[in-house]
Chain A
Amino acid sequence: SAVISQKPSRDICQRGTSLTIQCQVDSQVTMMFWYRQQPGQSLTLIATANQGSEATYESGFVIDKFPISRPNLTFSTLTVSNMSPEDSSIYLCSFKGGGNEKLFFGSGTQLSVL
């Protein structure tokens, strides 16, 4: 199965700054997904990123706050903009493999905003 690498694994950021998270897959995938996992909460889908088109955002998430790039079929980035302490969370990238049925996840980015 494909390998997915995510970085950074963790970061501590100041309020008002931005952080870009990178996700690299070792094979071409059509759809990539970005999730947020807050303590005690379920994994929440932020957006779906397709190569060559604008990302599709879920309710409650907007492009200005979470811009996403998908320059090719193996790479995507998520930026968390103008951060506040409420953005402290684990951010996960994922893609569908195994016959487009299974979701595979990166190791996550633990973000703390002071």
Chain B
Amino acid sequence: EDQVTQSPEALRLQEGESSSLNCSYTVSGLRGLFWYRQDPGKGPEFLFTLYSAGEEKEKERLKATLTKKESFLHITAPKPEDSATYLCAVQAVGYSTLTFGKGTMLLVSP
């Protein structure tokens, strides 16, 4: 059974204080690993897809990396508007559905 574990559950940062969120996964064969951002009262918003170990993708202050067992979402010099819940999900080879983690709630204080 596919499993996704995200840590920490919650993270509080000062503006400008860089950090990383972790997503550990177990999947029979990885088709893709996805990162989403979810603001309160809204549906998740797509950020990145990673397909193979060693792959990296960047978007503004966010960079996602992937190994064979985990993915990191690095946040560089975060701003208050980066406050949100970040979700990680995996898709196994041969399946069209995603398995999600519980998310990391990030709060960035000015």
Interface residues on A, range: 20 to 34
Given A101-B32, A102-B49, A103-B34, are A45 and B97 neighbors across the interface (CB < 8 Å)? Answer: yes
Judge whether A48 is part of the interface by a CB distance below 8 angstroms. yes
7 other A-B residue contacts (CB within 8 Å) besides A9-B41, A42-B99, A44-B100: A31-B96, A41-B102, A42-B87, A42-B102, A43-B44, A92-B43, A103-B36
Report the bound CA distance from A6 to B102 in whole Å.
23
Whether a CB of chain A sits under 8 angstroms from the CB of B103 is yes
List residues of chain B with CB within 8 A of the CB of A104: 46
Q: Which of A11-69 contact B (CB under 8 A)?
A: 31, 33, 40-45, 48, 58
Q: Which residues of B contact A (CB under 8 A)?
A: 4, 32, 34, 36, 41-46, 49, 87, 89, 96-103
Report B47 CB to chain A, min CB distance, Å. Answer: 10
Interface CB pairs A-B, < 8 A, 26: A6-B43, A31-B96, A42-B4, A42-B99, A42-B102, A42-B103, A43-B87, A43-B100, A44-B100, A48-B96, A58-B97, A92-B43, A94-B43, A96-B96, A101-B49, A102-B34, A103-B34, A103-B36, A103-B44, A105-B43, A105-B44, A105-B45, A106-B43, A107-B42, A107-B43, A108-B41
- How distant is the Cα of A78 from the Cα of B1 in the complex, in angstroms? 26
Question: Complex Cα distance A35/B35, Å?
Answer: 17
State how many angstroms separate the Cβ of B12 from the closest Cβ of chain A: 18
Q: 9 smallest A-B Cβ distances: which pairs?
A: A105-B43, A43-B100, A42-B100, A42-B102, A102-B46, A105-B44, A108-B43, A107-B43, A106-B43
Q: Is A79 an interface residue (CB 8 A)?
A: no
Asked if B44 and A33 make an inter-chain contact with CB atoms under 8 angstroms apart, the answer reads no
